[in-house]
Structure 1
Amino acid sequence: MRYLMHNREASLKLEKRIKDYFLKIKTIEIKINFLNKEYIGIIDVESFRWLSNFDCFNCLTNCCVQFPYNFNSKAREVILNNLKEYNELTKAVSIMKEEGMTEKEIEESIKLDDMLIPKEFEEKVFDRCTCSCVYIDRSLCALHKICIDKGMTLEEIIDTKPFWCSIYPLEMIEDGNKLYIFVPTQGNNFLSMNDCDFPCMNIEKAKSPYFRRENPIGFKIGEYKAFIENYYSVLNYIFGDEFTEKILEKLEITIEKIEDEQYIKKR
């Protein structure tokens, strides 16, 4: 048993906690085909009711605190074709030049190195994903912003970004052909690999005077919706109609209007 796309096996203690948790809650099982493999998805359906508000373009908190699992060829191509904007957002090219790299060496690194930078730069020159950036005063993903600026669709952006970044904060735990799937909530976050204690996933934090003072824009309380509503288009594209419709049916939720705020160009 291991967290999806994570190499380290879960400890026996954690494995027991995961299985015990899923035995005591209401779940639905769905056949899932993705990442070139067929799984039986065991879904913590109630967790998809968790209130969320992915107002990323109004967020002053940097949630990209690590390196992603991989960049595909599409991501590398987008960055290389928009190297000036990428550097304006991240300063990554300028930093690598300061470290003595030539333009050609930098482009080769973006083409070939796992994290778009030489291995020896990881955790030393760069302490997190090089796409993590601050645009004016907002914490954003440079790759995501470039994709939106170029008019790419939601589906094209998902196919371009590292897979794990597109589905964050959804958790998936692989156990043979089984895939335990849950949204991190106060009731199950002890099983979560990711840090999800951010205002987008914590309405109480968004209500707090401290947060309102530190982040006075966005995150309107009335805009918080069930996770399945906010992530419907992403989940539907990755997992298919049966996945999203069964969850909506089980939760008795009807979506009247789908708004993909994270994937719409901002003026």
Structure 2
Amino acid sequence: MVNMSLVLERDGGELRYGDLVGERRPVVLTHGAGLDHRMFDAQAAALHEAGHRVVSWDQRGHGESSLEAGARFTATTALDDLVALLDHLGLDRPILIGHSLGGNLVQALVRRLPERAYGLIVMDSTWNAGPLTAVERLLLKLAAPSLALIPASRLPGIMARASAVTPEGIAECEATFARMPKRVFLDVWRATVSLVAPEPGYRTPVPLGLVRGDRDRTGNIAVAMPRWARAEGMTEHVVPDAGHVVTVDAADAATKVIRGIIDGWDAA
């Protein structure tokens, strides 16, 4: 487990992060909506063992990071937090790995500031810049209002069963989701949706890796990620027997894929 004792003060809250020293290129791990840094514990340990400097952090209102009373979680503040963390640590073109909302965030960062990242690994996240069908646009619009109708007491369990497929994964996700107030979770969901901004012809300007669980049925990920891979002329990595939270459902397999992608970049 990563020691999250380090703190970066930000307007509206404070960010907790861990920094594992290594000689190889830094890797920054950004978790998904409603989750926290622990979803990457196995991968952080393996990447550190392989010699990388590894930074894990909790987004504001998640895990050990705070969200001040009255403050709101937005895509803009989340993206600014990530940039501030990179600046604070003086990281020179790290590898950015993001899951779900974290994947949307790191896509947005590279789209705005491509010179800040060496490479991008997106896990179980939709394609921000990709085309959307009319049905996909409607489902995105209805996502937060639909979640708002679910009683707060039932929301963590419903979301956990939609996110993981193994009993251990479901239990871990439900316990983590239950720590977040419903109003914050809805803000987080709205932020995720707001990062989807189609731009025909846009292609990722840094090395890219795409990873998803073969049983991920969240949003349009199962169709958007293959579409993205075809557009970029690459192969996506589909992890068997895993749902949306692939790093928890299939930790060893997900770790192997991540290390394979990074080692491939190094060899090239």
Which structure has the larger Rg? 1
Q: Which has the higher contact order (CA 8 A, sep 6+)?
A: 1
TM-score by length of 1: 0.24
